[in-house]
Amino acid sequence: MKVKADPKLVQKGLMLPLMEAFYTIQGEGYHKGTAAYFIRVGGCDVGCHWCDVKESWDAETHPPTAIGEIVEEAARHSDTIVVTGGEPLTWDMGPLTEALKEKGMKIHIETSGAYPMTGHWDWVCLSPKKNKLPVGDIYGRADELKVIVYNRHDLKFAEEQAARVRPGCLLYLQPEWSVREKVTPFIVDYVMAHPKWRVSLQTHKYLNIP
């Protein structure tokens, strides 16, 4: 049953501005190559100039959707869920993750960490951005740190961010897609010289899947 959109329900995380949801293969980071259901939540004010989902930024353009509907659809596809955006932590993720957990799902988040952590997560991918740094205790909760590399200066930023995560957090450098031919060679050299890092590629784009 469709629930009527109500700003108060969005504020409480009982409805979320849903941009899209789809079953695909995780292309990036530690879980690359594995099937998962992606829930892309609208709304982000981080403003990365190279963002490849700029259409997610304006939450107003994405219909407030009851979390019950989102979870029901997710349950039909997979027991592994990736919540992404936009910036999902713009919203209270508590109710959505509780409802997914009730169905016994494993829940991953992809976040810049620009807003305080809410929700219950089995895997936290922190992808910090220079123009709106992570807040709160998210560095201590990240399972993987994924730094997008657009230019050489991003390697310095990556080291600064790596110094803040907990021991055992996996470290990834990922070429920004539009400049991948330029940056991949120096990322490869950097990872060979600093093997605590791994290369992450957007393999879903090579596979031509969402």
53 lies in the site for ligand SF4, by CB under 6 A: yes
47 lies in the site for ligand SF4, by CB under 6 A: yes
Q: What is the dihedral of CA 141, 143, 145, 146, to 10 degrees?
A: -130
| Beta bridge mates, 123 | 108
Helix, strand, coil in percent for the chain, rounding step 5: 30, 25, 45
- Of the pair 44, 66, the CB lying nearest ligand SF4 is at 44
Spatial distance between the Cα atoms of 55 and 78, rounded to a whole number of angstroms: 26
* Among 26, 56, 90, 200, contact with ligand SF4 (rule: CB under 6 A): 56
Interaction with ligand SF4 in 117-156: which residues (CB under 6 A)? Answer: 129
- Of the pair 99, 172, the CB lying nearest ligand SF4 is at 172
Query: Taking contact as CB under 6 A, which single stretch among the options 26-34, 50-58, 98-106, 133-141 is the one that binds ligand SF4?
Result: 50-58
Closest CA to 145 of 94, 200, 93: 200
Q: How far is the CB of 122 from ligand SF4 (least distance, A)?
A: 21
Q: How far is the CB of 192 from ligand SF4 (least distance, A)?
A: 27
46 lies in the site for ligand SF4, by CB under 6 A: yes
Query: Taking contact as CB under 6 A, which single stretch among the options 82-90, 99-107, 138-146, 189-197 is the one that binds ligand SF4?
Result: 82-90
DSSP string, 85-149: SS-GGGS--HHHHHHHHHTT-EEEEEE---S---S--SEEEE--BTTB---TTHHHH-SEEEEEE
Contact call for residues 105 and 80 (beta carbons, < 8 A): yes
* Among 17, 27, 86, 134, contact with ligand SF4 (rule: CB under 6 A): 86
* Among 19, 48, 74, 99, contact with ligand SF4 (rule: CB under 6 A): 48
Contact call for residues 56 and 17 (beta carbons, < 8 A): no
- With CB under 6 A as the rule, give the number of residues binding ligand SF4: 12
| Beta bridge mates, 40 | 20, 84
Q: How far is the CB of 111 from ligand SF4 (least distance, A)?
A: 8
Binding residues for substrate: 25-27, 40, 84, 210
For binding to ligand SF4 (CB under 6 A), which residues are involved? 44, 46-48, 51, 53, 56, 85-87, 112, 129
